[in-house]
Amino acid sequence: DIVLTQAPLSVSVTPGESASISCRSSKSLLSSKGITSLYWYLQRPGKSPQLLIYQMSNLASGVPDRFSSSGSETDFTLKISKVETEDVGVYYCGHRLEYPWTFGGGTKLELK
Amino acid sequence: EVQLVESGGGLVQPGRSMKLSCAASGFTFSSFPMAWVRQAPTKGLEWVATISTSGGSTYYRDSVKGRFTISRDNAKSTLYLQMNSLRSEDTATYYCTRDAGSGWGQGVMVTVSS
């Protein structure tokens, strides 16, 4: 199974500042079709997860452009610029390259 | 707007069965693969199963193979998860999701306990 390792476990950010979350894969997530199968999700407190980023760098519908993602075949970074109160929650990376789909352990974002 | 509404959860004894349903609306259900993802209390996300658009292909995590069955009724825009031989480690909130997570239900709690 592909293991996704997120860092840090938690991050505390001053509103208006930026935050970065790392996700490292145990295997290349580049598919034979040239698509990098890496996704980012946010789960706000008490809510269902929502998709933020698909295929490594594409913003999901309705997601503000303060969110961005980049990476290589195995190392990925989610960046949140100008953090707002609504960004609080747990961020997960996940892949869809092969079965079983797996998720990272999550990174909790809090406000200072 | 994508809407996914799960139902069918609750308390069940170990070894018994339970069937979850997910009613979809706001999109062409038959055009999307669907999946179940679960989250044990205070834990992270765990993929459970995926089904292709036609229902002809299904995929499961090893720990539920042979016990869980994912299915769909495209005419009713509904996704199902039949769970048999339930174990305490199956206790979780179960989410119905569209494709790779481009839509999530509100989740339904399944508690397996005697």
Q: How does DSSP classify residue B64?
A: G
Best residue of B5, B42, B45, B58 to probe chain A, by most A CBs closer than 10 Å: B45
Min distance B37 CA to chain A CA atoms (Å):
10
- Measured distance CA(A80)–CA(A108) in Å, rounded: 13
User: Kind of pairing, strands A4-7 and A19-25?
Assistant: antiparallel
Extract the residue ranges of chain A whose pLDDT is less than 50.
Answer: none
Min distance B40 CA to chain A CA atoms (Å):
13
Q: Distance between the two ends of chain A, CA-based, in angstroms?
A: 36
pLDDT at B42: 95
- Measured distance CA(A7)–CA(A21) in Å, rounded: 6
Rg (CA), chain A: 13
A76 and chain B in contact, CB less than 8 A: no
Which residues on chain A are in Cβ contact (under 8 Å) with B3? none
Which residues on chain A are in Cβ contact (under 8 Å) with B61? 100
A99 and chain B in contact, CB less than 8 A: yes
Q: What is the dihedral of CA A12, B44, B14, A100, to 10 degrees?
A: -170
- Contact (CB<8Å) B44/A50: no
Q: Is residue A105 exposed (0-12), middle (13-18) or buried (19+ Cβ within 10 Å)?
A: middle
- Measured distance CA(B109)–CA(B100) in Å, rounded: 21
Which residues on chain A are in Cβ contact (under 8 Å) with B101? 39, 41, 49, 51, 94
Q: Is residue B86 exposed (0-12), middle (13-18) or buried (19+ Cβ within 10 Å)?
A: buried
Asked whether the beta carbons of B17 and B84 are under 8 A apart, the reply is yes
Min distance A87 CA to chain B CA atoms (Å):
18
pLDDT at A99: 97
A105 and chain B in contact, CB less than 8 A: yes
pLDDT, tens digit (0-9, with 9 covering 90-100), for A1-27:
999 999 999 999 999 999 999 999 999
pLDDT at A12: 97
Min distance B106 CA to chain A CA atoms (Å):
6
CA B112 to the chain's CA centroid: 16
pLDDT, tens digit (0-9, with 9 covering 90-100), for B80-114:
999 999 999 999 999 999 988 899 999 999 999 99
Segment A54-59 long-range contacts (CB within 8 Å, at least 24 positions apart): A54/B100, A54/B102, A56/A29
